[in-house]
Amino acid sequence: MSLVNPHGGGNLRPLLLEGDAAKVELARASALPKVVVSSREAGDIIMLGIGGFTPLDGFMTHSDWQGVCDGMKMASGLFWPIPVTLSTNDETIAVGNEIALVSNESDEILATMKVSEKYVIDKAHECMQVYKTTDTEHPGVKMVMDQGKYNLAGAIKVLSTGGFTEKYGEQFMTPAETRAKFQAMGWTRIAAFQTRNPMHRSHEYLAKIAIETMDGVLIHSLLGNLKPGDIPAEVRSEAIEVLTKNYFAPNTTIQAGYPLDMRYAGPREALLHALFRQNYGCSHLIVGRDHAGVGDYYGPFDAQKIFDDIPKGSLETVNMNIDWTFWCNKCGGMASQRTCPHSKDDRILLSGTKVRSMLSEGQTLPVEFSRPEVAAVLQKYYQGLSAEQNVKVELKGHSAA
Amino acid sequence: MSLVNPHGGGNLRPLLLEGDAAKVELARASALPKVVVSSREAGDIIMLGIGGFTPLDGFMTHSDWQGVCDGMKMASGLFWPIPVTLSTNDETIAVGNEIALVSNESDEILATMKVSEKYVIDKAHECMQVYKTTDTEHPGVKMVMDQGKYNLAGAIKVLSTGGFTEKYGEQFMTPAETRAKFQAMGWTRIAAFQTRNPMHRSHEYLAKIAIETMDGVLIHSLLGNLKPGDIPAEVRSEAIEVLTKNYFAPNTTIQAGYPLDMRYAGPREALLHALFRQNYGCSHLIVGRDHAGVGDYYGPFDAQKIFDDIPKGSLETVNMNIDWTFWCNKCGGMASQRTCPHSKDDRILLSGTKVRSMLSEGQTLPVEFSRPEVAAVLQKYYQGLSAEQNVKVELKGHSAA
């Protein structure tokens, strides 16, 4: 048995330059015209840098964009569920130019790019195809609608990991690093648990079902930007740390993070989550209720169903679907709608709003809902927030992804 | 998606005659020389009758026997882990004879057979290869050692299901019937839960892990003979009935039974369990701790490991391994050694002897160990036994298979 292959079937393709090559390119880059990139674009650049978007060599062309929007495949025929594009309003950039891509947050030069194509897209079409809505209340749609007038395609050379290495240390693992770790552990059947929220008992249950039947779980946190009010990565990370230390057997979990921003594209993003987990070496992606969703734009299990609709062989990494999970008093244990025959009244279900208000007020959460050690980390965080900040915070009670 | 193919890749091969053909053959059979068969052999005949041993056409030849003992394959190359043989001490039976096979319990004619080969085996060799011991304290070894001097090979025509249909009604499902049922339910990913004991919470947990990730579970009870002291099939069946009714979601389990006697061959029997579950249409066999074991003849996870040692493609039905399971007070839920980091002191573990004595004395079992409804069924059974019978009863606390 061996690990799943990187997407496309070849080797990992990290676009990050290192050592002298990086220094030379950085020196050259400082003289190039600068294009400022958004937080989402910066995350994509870093993901391309570490090989998470293997086998892409940069940002997509118009025909790639069209194929991905309309049929989830690039011009080459390669399966890809969400456009990876770069935009600008700069009228002066022309095909053939070399440009430096600069973070809008840190002013750091993240990459250089040779512009192979400059094109205009139908943003509303992308939103309808990918997000199933053009409602700009949807944070992913808003990101597309806020893009520049032009998209720029081209191969990139990545020069930085944008501060993630410094901020998250060993937790910021590259696909090559998770693969090496899995091999050192002798793991081949690995479920990725995608998370952008702290893990309560319902999420622990999902991860443990995977552990019961596989070699281990990669608890894989999004370290990029979230919508306002989501729990910051460092708090999540601490909460996951106390959970695994106290409630998981040794050598069954690895906690790591990846640099992308959430797009909240629901089903399409679940496919992207599986795609890049294949690059990280995971054989399975746990897909629970409302995976990568936001608001009511997607049905609670649309992100599971979409895996049945893609052509066979699109991905080696497969979905491991799990239904809505909770503690049930009559079951006397964790369960899901597939394993519990009892009624809602027997189940401990707390809304996100309720959880947040309990934690902000220093109340203890029921032990059936959250481990006391986890609740304590969150309590500390919420109580450190100002009253005004607290109002904005929205903690989702059951969707981690 | 479709169901797994019957073993060998062809159609199911039930050897049972029905209607007029059965009547004619039965009339003919009554004039044939009779060979009395043991309970194990009777179970094998009925299994051949309903197609559970597809694609066998009868009892094995010497070269089949040798190949199965030494390399788990028949002369044809077909994978088979345990000999399916018929024995006799009758010196008068000769190759070419037609004989009637008669139950040693009911005197019923179960089948006719044309003897194609009469041969002597090295019983100790079979025992060492299949059971890993020649100790006649081992009930499977004893069965082999008690066999007649000669083995008889030949194709059989089956005339009866030996009373199972009458005794167990709809629960005695044939492979064709379980397959039809799975198709009607729209199931393709089905785990078989092998059981020869009542289901306590540890077994419920195994089944529910499968349900969380698959279409459903076939709770598949052995209806043939067990070693003295095991719980009778009808009591088990009632206990499973109250369990599924009260603690499983509708349309996630099917309870059925099969006619074999236990051989207690541990790892080799786990492979046989997977093989005939393939005929029943199950894609997976749940393999827990000490599957099909007895005493200390096998390591607790030998029956899981053997699946890694058979040639790829031997079986379509695969093993779903689950570690030793229990309630843990610190976890506050069911767990296994793979998901619980706590110590033995935190776990609710009762020996079989302890469970039996508690039930016999009318004590309640901890709700973390057994569902009250299940415990009540068992209590009623134990309290109905005489004191002398009770001493003989041995209830295993954690191994269902």
Q: Which candidate from B209, B211, B252 shows the least CB-CB separation from A212?
A: B209
pLDDT at A398: 40
In chain A, the residue whose alpha carbon lies closest to the alpha carbon of B252 is: A338
Q: Do B252 and A337 touch (CB under 8 A)?
A: no
User: Do residues B53 and B143 share a domain?
Assistant: yes
Does residue B197 have an active-site annotation?
yes
d(C-alpha A26, C-alpha A39), whole Å: 20
Residue A9 CB burial class (10 angstroms; 0-12, 13-18, ≥19): exposed
The percentage of residues in chain B with a pLDDT greater than 70, rounded to a whole number, is: 96
User: Do residues B189 and B273 share a domain?
Assistant: yes
Q: Does the pLDDT of residue B78 top 90, yes or no?
A: yes
Whether the CB of B248 is below 8 Å from some CB of chain A: the reply is yes
Q: Does the pLDDT of residue B26 top 50, yes or no?
A: yes
User: Do residues B190 and B133 share a domain?
Assistant: no
Last residue of a domain, one of B128, B162, B196: B162
Residue A390 resides in a domain: no
Whether the CB of A212 is below 8 Å from some CB of chain B: the reply is yes
pLDDT band at B388 (very low <50, low <70, confident <90, very high): low
User: Do residues B140 and B215 share a domain?
Assistant: no
Write A70-75 long-range contacts (CB < 8 A, 24+).
A70/A129, A72/A268, A72/A271, A72/A310, A72/A314
Q: Do B250 and A341 touch (CB under 8 A)?
A: yes
Whether the CB of B372 is below 8 Å from some CB of chain A: the reply is no
pLDDT at B398: 40
Whether the CB of A209 is below 8 Å from some CB of chain B: the reply is yes
Residue A282 resides in a domain: yes
User: Do residues A183 and A317 share a domain?
Assistant: yes
User: Do residues B141 and B186 share a domain?
Assistant: no
User: Do residues B304 and B250 share a domain?
Assistant: yes
Q: Do B213 and A322 touch (CB under 8 A)?
A: yes
Q: Which candidate from B247, B336, B340 shows the least CB-CB separation from A331?
A: B247
pLDDT at A1: 74
Q: Which candidate from A212, A336, A338 shows the least CB-CB separation from B338?
A: A212
Q: Give the domain CATH number at B313.
A: 3.40.50.620
Q: Does the pLDDT of residue B396 top 60, yes or no?
A: no
- The interface predicted TM-score of the complex, written ipTM, equals 0.90
d(C-alpha B394, C-alpha B237), whole Å: 18
pLDDT band at B360 (very low <50, low <70, confident <90, very high): confident
Whether the CB of B339 is below 8 Å from some CB of chain A: the reply is yes
pLDDT at B390: 58
- Which pairing describes strands A86-88 and A150-158: parallel, antiparallel, or unpaired? antiparallel
Per-residue pLDDT of B101-149, as tens digits, reads 999 999 999 999 999 999 999 999 999 999 999 999 999 999 999 999 9
What's the mean pLDDT when you consider all of chain B?
A: 94
- For chain A of 401 residues, list the mean pLDDT of each consecutive stretch of 10: 95 97 96 97 98 98 98 98 98 98 96 98 98 97 97 98 91 97 98 94 97 97 80 91 97 96 96 98 96 94 97 97 96 97 96 86 92 95 74 46 63
Whether the CB of B368 is below 8 Å from some CB of chain A: the reply is yes
d(C-alpha B119, C-alpha B124), whole Å: 15
What's this model's pTM, rounded to 2 decimal places? 0.92
Last residue of a domain, one of A101, A132, A162: A162
B chain contacts of residue A247, beta-carbon cutoff 8 Å: 331, 341
Residue A223 CB burial class (10 angstroms; 0-12, 13-18, ≥19): buried
User: Do residues A300 and A199 share a domain?
Assistant: yes
List the catalytic residues of A.
196-197
In chain A, the residue whose alpha carbon lies closest to the alpha carbon of B207 is: A339
Last residue of a domain, one of A132, A162, A192: A162
> What is the extent of the structural domain holding B63?
19-162
State how far residue A203 is from chain B, nearest Cα, in angstroms: 14
User: Do residues B143 and B174 share a domain?
Assistant: no
Residue B295 resides in a domain: yes
Q: Do B339 and A250 touch (CB under 8 A)?
A: no
User: Do residues A44 and A59 share a domain?
Assistant: yes
Write B378-387 long-range contacts (CB < 8 A, 24+).
B378/B198, B378/B231, B378/B235, B378/B239, B381/B231, B381/B232, B381/B235, B382/B356, B383/B359, B385/B360
Q: Do A341 and B249 touch (CB under 8 A)?
A: yes
User: Do residues B158 and B192 share a domain?
Assistant: no
d(C-alpha B138, C-alpha B136), whole Å: 5
